């Protein structure tokens, strides 16, 4: 069957690596994001590699544009899929200074993409197929002093994805929740305290494997499942005094 992937936040290195991989497998790729010049470059890259790809404007904070993306995807035959790589992580200290930054963080990391997925879901139900990849974060597994607003947004997104999975499973669709640990991207470049950092391509490979195997929730690299298992099980009475 024809495969089409809408990639939200396609300017990120993780999304780029994922786009290359699905394009190699023969999928049509719609690269959605804000920096159109950059998206056009990625589209040209995929086309030169022999795939079908185009750039399309997407801004998580401007839902008025979402309809265009859904309509464009609907013009492709076969299975429509979506992968969400958007999110923003202001420094917690910046949010402390200006609490209104919470709105943007939550919109970028959760409600913006969720609105678009909500508009896309009927198309998947119609066609009786479709996979959604939602990239969350291990930060969503527990609120920590360092980035709890971003963590809360990603936690909300994970809960949303769980519900969407529940809905789409009934009609043949599927939702994969991805929780990456530290990935070597522009977001983490030069931040102190990074360890066990994975390459974006390694994460993309893990995601694709999870899509093929119809996994529900994956941690990538895999060992983050165990790291987070421990962190989730620290009693709150102790956790509240820790700074990790």
| CA angle, residues 110, 184, 104, in degrees to nearest 5 | 25
**173: its two tokens:** 């669709």
Query: Is 218:207 a contact under the CB 8 Å cutoff?
Result: yes
Query: Rounded distance, CA 152 to CA 34, Å?
Result: 24
Dihedral class, residue 129 (left if φ above 0, else alpha if ψ from -120 to 50, else beta): beta
Between 51 and 106, name the residue whose CB sits nearer to another protein. Answer: 51
CB of 156 vs another protein, minimal distance in Å: 27
Between 20 and 174, name the residue whose CB sits nearer to another protein. Answer: 20
Between 18 and 219, name the residue whose CB sits nearer to another protein. Answer: 18
The yes-or-no answer on residue 150 being catalytic is yes
CB of 207 vs another protein, minimal distance in Å: 19
- Give Cα separations from 102 to 105, 109, 196 (angstroms): 5, 10, 29
Query: Is 176:164 a contact under the CB 8 Å cutoff?
Result: no
Between 190 and 235, name the residue whose CB sits nearer to another protein. Answer: 190
Query: Is 151:231 a contact under the CB 8 Å cutoff?
Result: no
CB of 16 vs another protein, minimal distance in Å: 8
Query: Is 87:109 a contact under the CB 8 Å cutoff?
Result: yes
Between 39 and 164, name the residue whose CB sits nearer to another protein. Answer: 39
Residues that bind another protein (CB under 8 A): 11-13, 16, 35, 37-38, 41-42, 44-45, 47-50, 185-186, 189-191
CB of 133 vs another protein, minimal distance in Å: 20
Helix H, strand E, coil C: the string for 160-212 is HHHHHHHHHHCCCCEEEEEEECCECCCCCCCCCCCCCCECHHHHHHHHHHHHH
Query: Rounded distance, CA 142 to CA 151, Å?
Result: 7
CB of 45 vs another protein, minimal distance in Å: 4
Helix H, strand E, coil C: the string for 145-166 is CCCHHHHHHHHHHHHHHHHHHH
**Which residues does the annotation mark as catalytic?**
150
């Amino acid at each position: 069957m024809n495969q089409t992937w809408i990639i939200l936040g396609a300017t990120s290195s993780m999304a780029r690596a994922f786009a290359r991989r699905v394009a190699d497998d023969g999928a049509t790729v719609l690269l959605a994001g804000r920096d159109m010049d950059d998206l056009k470059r990625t589209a040209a890259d995929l086309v030169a590699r022999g795939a079908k790809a185009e750039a399309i404007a997407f801004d998580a904070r401007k839902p008025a544009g979402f309809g265009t993306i859904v309509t464009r995807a609907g013009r492709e035959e076969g299975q429509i899929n979506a992968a969400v790589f958007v999110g923003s992580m202001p420094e917690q200290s910046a949010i402390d200074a200006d609490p209104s930054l919470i709105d943007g963080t939550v919109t970028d990391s959760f409600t913006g993409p969720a609105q678009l997925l909500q508009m896309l879901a009927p198309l998947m139900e119609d066609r009786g197929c479709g996979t959604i990849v939602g990239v969350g974060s291990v930060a969503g597994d527990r609120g920590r002093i360092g980035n709890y607003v971003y963590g809360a947004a990603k936690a909300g997104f994970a809960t949303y994805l769980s519900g969407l999975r529940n809905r789409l499973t009934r009609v043949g669709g599927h939702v994969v929740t991805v929780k990456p640990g530290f990935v070597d991207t522009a977001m983490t470049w030069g931040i102190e305290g990074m360890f066990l950092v994975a390459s974006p391509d390694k994460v993309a490979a893990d995601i694709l494997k999870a899509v093929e195997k119809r996994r529900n929730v994956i941690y990538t690299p895999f060992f983050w499942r165990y790291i987070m298992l421990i962190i989730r099980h620290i009693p709150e009475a102790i956790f509240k005094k820790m700074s990790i």
